[in-house]
Structures are given as C-alpha cells and as structure tokens.
Amino acid sequence: MAKTAFVFSGQGAQYPGMGKELYDCSPAAKKVFDMAESIRPGTLKQCFEGTKEELSVTINTQPCVFITDLAAAEAVKEKGIEPDFTAGFSLGEIAAIAFSGMLSYEDAFRLVCRRAELMDTAAKENPGAMAAVMKITPEQTEDICSQFKKAYPVNYNSPAQTVVAASEEEIDELCEKVKAAKGKAKVLAVSGAFHSPFMDSAAEGMAQYLEGVELKTPVIPVYANCTAEPYEGDYKKLVSQQINHPVRWQKSVENMISAGAERFIEVGVGKTLTGLIKKINADVSAVNIENKEGLDALE
C-alpha cells in the first residue's frame, strides 16, 4: 500500500504573510498559531505582517517558520490525511519530532526559540558564509571543500545540489573553484554557516538545554538529518548534533521511498523541498501545502 510522508520546511523559505491563510481557514492551524502567540507574543504579527528583513533575522525566522510548518501539518491532518513517515529539513526536523509526539507543541516551540538564540549567537561569534553548489556531484564538492581550511559540505540536497559552509575569507575562492570544475555556485543570503563546525557552540548549548527536556518515543517514524534513518538511540544527541552536522536530505528521502513512501506532502513555508524531492525521484508525488488553495486541492 502506498505510504505518505510529511516533510517540514526549514529556515530560508520564509516570506511576509506566511501562514495567514491557514490561520483564517483552518481551526486546527489557528490553535497552533494561538499557542505560539501565548508563549511568544508578537509571533503572529511577525508571520502575517513582518517585513522580509524582520523575518530574515534568525531569532524571528525560526519560531515563525516552525509554527507555520506545524500549523500546516495540523491543517492537513484536519482533512483526514496522516503520514506514515516524517522528516524535516534543518529547523523543520524540530517540527517533525513535535508532530510525531516526541515533544509537546509548547515544549517544542520553546526549544526552537532557544535554538534560534544559540545559533544567532554562534553566527555572530564565529561568522561564516554558505553557498549552493550545483551541476557537480556531491563527491566533487567534497573534494573542493577539502582544499580549504574551513569549508564543509553541509546540505546534501539532491544529486546535483550540495550546500557548503565556509569562512567569509574563503567562500569566494571556493565558488571560483566550483566554476572551474564546470559547476555553478551561488552565495546564499543567510546569517551564519549552519550545520558546520561554525555552530559547535550552539550544538553544545542545545545539549545543555536538552538536559531538562524529556523526549518521548515517536509515534510516527522521524528520519533524522544526521543519519537519514529513523530516530533511534540517543534522541537528544541527534537533536543537538543536527545543528553542527550535515543535513543528509537526499538520503533521507531515498530511505523513505525505500520504506514505501510514494506521496510526499511538504507542510509549511514554500516549496523548496517539493522541488528537491522531484529531482531526487521523479516517480513519486510531491506537493506543498502552505495556503487555502493547496489545502482545498488535497485528496
């Protein structure tokens, strides 16, 4: 029997007005947004009315994207559709573990707010840059990164796209080497070098924060960014290490497909993951749900 996976979008997909239609058309989504507003007043205003600049600040981006992701998932569930598997890209993984029952939504939202603070501080104390590398293989990208002191492949997105993190001093030269290898490189407008050793202090801070948090066994399998396998073993280690380790997105999607996933529903902001999934395997169904039109089209 065909199985369904919910995939939760990550930081970088945010835009002004995100989630407003979900709030207006879905009681389940509204409940999630109102919960966030009670914990962090101003969250709704940022999601629905915030400027692009305001939403690009990490301490705002992460809570707003996270809650829009969860609201979208609850709106889809409200229509009677539930997943067999879940996964989230970077920040989206926290939404996935919450939806899968590992954390209450309230505790997960507080965790995301702390995660954002830790990553924002790490980015300011240890600045770096990121670039999307396309048209060459992940192995070629790894080889180019190995030629620099502080350069790392950090997002294995699809067969032809790998995102790298590097020092601000090295990023331009790295991009030139990519072009010399017949690839394409685009420096990303991000505030830090995420999923790399530049984030070590944030990962350590998250490990400390998690000492006071209980993570339950997931009701729905969650595929972890670090391993591309369902969560097992030390849950807290997976959540903290995710901050300074690569996102193995392509492998996660491939493993869900191997486990029977034929339909992927991207819940939350944008359609980045939908596009990546289609590049990973064109034979599976992939749609994104972020507004009323998407919800109404679901069957």
Residue-level pLDDT at 11: 86
Evaluate if residue 253 carries a pLDDT over 90. yes
Domain residue ranges in the chain = 3-125+196-297, 129-187
Residue-level pLDDT at 282: 94
CB-based contacts of 65: which residues, under 8 Å, 6+ apart? 9, 10, 11, 13, 14, 18, 91, 92, 268, 269
The number of beta carbons lying within 10 Å of the beta carbon of residue 54 is: 15
Residue-level pLDDT at 279: 93
Residue-level pLDDT at 93: 97
Confidence of residue 1 (pLDDT cuts 50, 70, 90): low
Domain 129-187, what architecture?
Answer: 2-Layer Sandwich (3.30)
Q: Which residues are catalytic?
A: 90, 195
Closest CA to 127 of 188, 193, 61: 193
CB-based contacts of 252: which residues, under 8 Å, 6+ apart? 87, 223, 224, 225, 228
pLDDT 10s digits, 151-176: 999 999 999 899 999 999 999 999 99
Tokens standing for 242? 């995710």
Residue range 265-271: average pLDDT?
A: 94
Give 206-268 as a DSSP string.
Answer: HHHHHTT---PPPSS-EE-TTTSSB--S-HHHHHHHTTTS-B-HHHHHHHHHHTTEEEEEEES
**Comparing 3-125+196-297 with 129-187, is the CATH topology the same?**
no
Give the CATH fold of the 3-125+196-297 domain. Malonyl-Coenzyme A Acyl Carrier Protein; domain 2 (3.40.366)
pLDDT 10s digits, 112-133: 999 999 999 999 999 999 999 9
Residue 132 phi/psi, 5-degree rounding, is: -90, 125
Three-state DSSP class for residue 137? coil
Residue-level pLDDT at 217: 97
pLDDT 10s digits, 7-63: 999 988 889 999 999 999 999 999 999 999 999 999 999 999 999 999 988 999 999
What is the pTM (predicted TM-score) of this model? 0.94
